[in-house]
């Protein structure tokens, strides 16, 4: 298939574009938020192809996979025709939870995909056809050693997002061991025993996290951090706030899961003192992550949905009456 999809969440998209299809990724001259093209810090295969918006009207597209409300309008404007559309919701609802209406609630022209069952439960999607496809994680290519008595955190925009990402809790863990924080917008965190590492490549981040004694996940309100699953795939022991979908992803043997921060701090201290306990927990974390969040299962789930949604192509490709004549030929 030829799938139109935007580069929004690079980690999720890296798994998505690992499938057998051609992925058409919009790119604009200034690489703005709706035309980022291929990411610079993640390795994508050659079947993820950059395409300019003005080329899309002449490009054969089987399905549009959108991730923001604005992309629904952009897909119609750039394609000049209707194609089957899937909306992927990555985030927990905001506002009057659990009463928050989803932007595509009660629509019959979109299939809504949640990435966690927690999100499916909490968003009000009305009568829109809705399903869940849980995350899939590519094998990171490195394994945990934990030889550095330091703690790792991966997060984006922790200064701006504050309590959402648990930024206020970092000092509690820095009192136990030095904390290395990886991600975008982390520079403002620099202080004694907290070292920010701004926007590393995915490969460099995996290598660094694999050497830290434990991975700490402090986000209060998120669907399920891919960085947490990646740390588990590495075989790192994890210290995790028991919020949202984390309670389903992290078994007790994989580390420490609690809403009591004192328990989490003590768990981090135990792993720092006892490398064997850290190694045992990390092995359990890797087993659990591979069993539930393997890439093959993820791609198979997506292939099934894509085939289903794109199955009735002719009606979906009916041109808008106001659009110019389209040849439908590949670009």
pLDDT in tens, 63-94: 999 999 999 999 999 999 999 999 999 999 99
- Look at residue 312 in the predicted model and tell me its pLDDT: 52
Considering the entire predicted model, what is its pTM? 0.91
Reply yes or no on whether the pLDDT at 216 is more than 50. Answer: yes
pLDDT in tens, 97-126: 999 999 999 999 999 999 999 999 999 999
Residues 301-309 have a mean pLDDT of 98
Sorted by where each begins, the domain ranges of the chain are 2-136+295-316, 148-292
pLDDT in tens, 135-148: 999 999 999 999 99
- Look at residue 311 in the predicted model and tell me its pLDDT: 86
Reply yes or no on whether the pLDDT at 313 is more than 90. Answer: no
Reply yes or no on whether the pLDDT at 326 is more than 50. Answer: no
Reply yes or no on whether the pLDDT at 257 is more than 90. Answer: yes
Instruction: Domain 148-292: give its CATH code.
Output: 3.40.50.2000
Reply yes or no on whether the pLDDT at 198 is more than 50. Answer: yes
Cα 180 from chain centre? 21
Reply yes or no on whether the pLDDT at 324 is more than 50. Answer: no
The reply to whether 148-292 shares the fold of 2-136+295-316 is: yes
Per CATH, the architecture of 2-136+295-316 is what? 3-Layer(aba) Sandwich (3.40)
- Look at residue 95 in the predicted model and tell me its pLDDT: 87
């Amino acid at each position: 298939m030829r799938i139109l999809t935007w580069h929004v969440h690079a980690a999720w998209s890296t798994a998505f574009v690992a499938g057998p299809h051609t992925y058409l990724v919009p790119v604009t001259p200034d690489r703005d938020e709706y035309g980022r093209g291929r990411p610079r810090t993640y390795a994508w295969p050659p079947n993820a192809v950059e395409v300019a918006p003005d080329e899309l009207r002449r490009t054969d597209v089987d399905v549009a996979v959108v991730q923001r409300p604005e992309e629904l309008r952009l897909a119609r404007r750039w394609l000049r025709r209707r194609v089957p559309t899937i909306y992927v919701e990555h985030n927990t609802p905001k506002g009057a939870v659990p009463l928050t209406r989803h932007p595509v609630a009660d629509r019959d022209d979109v299939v809504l995909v949640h990435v966690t069952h927690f999100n499916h439960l909490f968003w009000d999607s009305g009568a829109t056809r809705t399903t869940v496809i849980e995350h899939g994680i590519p094998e990171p290519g490195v394994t945990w050693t934990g030889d550095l008595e330091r703690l790792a955190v991966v997060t984006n925009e922790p200064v701006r997002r504050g309590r959402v990402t648990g930024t206020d809790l970092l000092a509690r863990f820095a009192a136990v061991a030095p904390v290395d924080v990886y991600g975008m917008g982390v520079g403002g965190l620099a202080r004694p025993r907290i070292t920010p590492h701004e926007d590393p490549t995915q490969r460099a981040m995996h290598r660094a996290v694999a050497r830290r004694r434990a991975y700490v996940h402090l986000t209060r309100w998120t669907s399920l951090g891919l960085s947490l699953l990646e740390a588990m795939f590495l075989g790192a022991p994890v210290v995790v706030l028991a919020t949202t979908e984390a309670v389903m992803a992290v078994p007790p043997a994989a580390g420490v899961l609690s809403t009591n921060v004192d328990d989490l701090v003590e768990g981090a201290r135990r792993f720092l003192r006892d490398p064997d306990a850290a190694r045992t927990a990390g092995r359990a974390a890797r087993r659990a992550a591979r069993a539930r969040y393997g890439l093959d299962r993820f791609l198979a789930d997506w292939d099934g949905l894509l085939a289903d949604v794109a199955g009735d192509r002719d009606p979906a490709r009916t041109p808008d009456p106001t659009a110019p004549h389209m040849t439908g030929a590949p670009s």
